Structure 1
Amino acid sequence: MYLEVYVDVIFIINFIMDFILLATVKRILKYESSHLRICLGAGVGAAGACLFAVTPDINRLLRFLLAYFLLSYLMVRITFSRKSWRERIKAVVLLYISTFFLGGLLNGLYYYTGFGLYLADNSRLYLLLAFVSGTAGMLIFAGFLKKLRYKESELYPAELVFREKVVRAVGFMDTGNCLRDPYLGKPVIVTEYTVIEPLLTNSENTMLQKLLDNFEEGCSSGDFLEWKEAAGEILPIRLIPFHSVGKSGILPAFELDKVVLWEGEEETVREKVLTAVSRRKLSVRKDYQIILHKEVM
């Protein structure tokens, strides 16, 4: 008696599931990683599953240690290569939790709904359902965990980086900040001009001050284009319309190279962040100088 194993099917299924799990870990922990690295991590996990499938006689304890410790850590190590070992351990733990959730979701769909009867002889349909339901389920799971971690009103130490210049300030997470670039759809944070000033050259500061003066006086987009041409596009500026209680207008914005936020010992790094610039103080008590966007965290 022998067991016929379809290694290609095992690889594809495990690759898809591992990709979903690693993408979920990235989304929840806000770790930086490219799609290529997620694919590489998922590929290693899928290859390990194939190896265990063709070696059924391996010692159970050894299989457990290799699969749930070494292989899981290797997947995380490849996917999040720039993180410290403590951050990787956190990712491994979350990978376990996500795996239990995804496994429970798929088992529930298969055994406790009518789908199991229709999918018994159709592996392709099961694979498609697993991918769609798994992705949807993990997005819901990630959103739920983020809400548990999220505090509606919180201050974050922040670091803004532009052309190798760095300034530090305090950011406030405002759930009501829905500012976006009207053309690209990117989220926009708002920073006080006094914080931005040290990052810019004298000519850029002069240009920005003139823009702020004119916007406060109600200049049109045509005036803005004239200013931009006159300045020779010294600083690439974008127009961000805003609406608040009893007031609306336009804020000039430009793209920072990087924004770093700290939540305790946890560090969140975001590259190419749009910041609008405001001359007015954002906090009456002056306890923060940046209004953050929820999608930046």
Structure 2
Amino acid sequence: MYYEFYIDVFFVVNLFMDFLVLCLTNRILRGSAKPWRALLGALAGALGISLFFWLSKEINTVNILIFSIGMSFAMVWLDCRPCRGKELLAGVLACWGISFLLGGLLYALPPRAGKGILIFFTITFTAYWILNTGIRLFKYLKGKAVLRCRVILETGGQKIELKGLLDTGNCLTDTDTGKPVCVMEKSRFSGMLEKKQQDALESFCAMEDFGEGDAENLKPRFLIYTALGCERGLLPVVTADRLVIFWEGKKICLSQAAIGLSDAPLSPYGKFEIIISPKILDS
């Protein structure tokens, strides 16, 4: 049986498909790679598979599979530049999964719908946006649940468990220690203190004279911050002995944690009791 093989068309089709697959892979991995990186990976993939079909003396399922797996690792590395082997493997699996889904959407269409290169690109791009929308929706719904975490705060020999919220908008940093600042309600934190410490903390927050010895362990200070509706405010900050965060199966411990104290309730319905800075997760 005789087949006509157009290497230029084969290259362009693979370049287009690989680019879309790598863009979706980068989104799944929460990468920040720019489109040119995906284009570089797609170019390597399309060039590699084209040379493979052009130069190979024998083509069968085994050598195609081996070549495709190796090429997938190279493409994902060029696009996402994962730091660990686990992330690279996850990227390759995501790449193959997206390829199967994208191919499945194309095969689900009537045979006549795929005739013509322009129609093929249009259908493929539409399938890409369907998958892209699905990934964004899944990450949004998952993110609403993942942003909640369990928190244990320890200070002065007292320990309390809190419901935490990971807030990407919390960029507060303690100017004294350089540590990220988490925010909780002042009344909740005061409940962990002795009466003398409570009175000293209240006096400090009101900018009145207070017994420094009573609040010495807390190291109270003020942090200047900017927020919506407040161009320049002062947030009381204290130091807690230990902060433990349980998030996505990981246990993150921070000693001498900086805690900002809010007079206003953080959540009217009590859905969370402390706002966690995302910088802690990267520390």
Q: Into which bin does the TM-score normalised by the smaller protein fall?
A: 0.5 to 0.7
- Match of residue 93 from structure 1: 93
The alignment partner of 1:189 has SS state of coil
State the shift of 1:88 in Å.
Answer: 0.3
Q: CA contact under 8 A between 2:106 and 2:123: conserved in structure 1? A: no
Q: CA contact under 8 A between 1:192 and 1:289: conserved in structure 2? A: no
Deviations 1:124-176 (A, max 9, x none): 23223322x1321221231244256435351399xxxxxxxxxxxx97246xx
Are residue 288 (structure 1) and residue 274 (structure 2) matched?
A: yes
Unaligned residue ranges in structure 2 (runs of 5+): 152-162, 180-223, 234-246, 251-259, 279-283
State the shift of 1:34 in Å.
Answer: 2.7
- Match of residue 218 from structure 1: none
AA of the residue aligned to 1:22: L
State the shift of 1:93 in Å.
Answer: 0.9
Distance 1:144 1:3 in 2: 43
- Match of residue 125 from structure 1: 119
Greater C-alpha Rg: 2
AA of the residue aligned to 2:112: L
State the shift of 1:79 in Å.
Answer: 1.5
Distance 1:3 1:90 in 2: 37
Distance 1:17 1:238 in 2: 47
Identity %: 25
| Aligned alpha-carbon RMSD (Å) | 4.0
- Match of residue 211 from structure 2: none
The alignment partner of 1:58 has SS state of coil
- Match of residue 66 from structure 1: 67
Alignment of 1:254-273 (within 5 A): 263-264=248-249
The alignment partner of 1:5 has SS state of coil
Are residue 10 (structure 1) and residue 5 (structure 2) matched?
A: no
Deviations 1:24-58 (A, max 9, x none): 11112212323222111111111233134334732
30-39 vs 69-78, greater mean Cα deviation: 30-39
**When the two structures are superposed, what TM-score results if normalisation uses the length of structure 1?**
0.54
AA of the residue aligned to 2:65: F
Shift in alpha-carbon separation, 1:63–1:117, aligned structure 2, 3 A = closer
Q: CA contact under 8 A between 2:102 and 2:128: conserved in structure 1? A: no
Distance 2:275 2:176 in 1: 13
Shift in alpha-carbon separation, 1:126–1:290, aligned structure 2, 3 A = same
State the shift of 1:73 in Å.
Answer: 0.9
Shift in alpha-carbon separation, 1:25–1:238, aligned structure 2, 3 A = farther
Distance 1:156 1:14 in 2: 46
Are residue 57 (structure 1) and residue 35 (structure 2) matched?
A: no
Alignment of 1:142-221 (within 5 A): 142-147=135-140, 149-152=142-145, 153-155=147-149, 172-173=165-166, 189-191=169-171, 195=174, 198-199=177-178
AA of the residue aligned to 1:288: I
Shift in alpha-carbon separation, 1:95–1:197, aligned structure 2, 3 A = same
- Match of residue 43 from structure 1: 43
Distance 1:137 1:156 in 2: 35
Instruction: Report how many aligned residue pairs link the two structures.
Output: 198
Are residue 105 (structure 1) and residue 105 (structure 2) matched?
A: yes
AA of the residue aligned to 1:29: L
Shift in alpha-carbon separation, 1:199–1:65, aligned structure 2, 3 A = same
AA of the residue aligned to 1:143: R
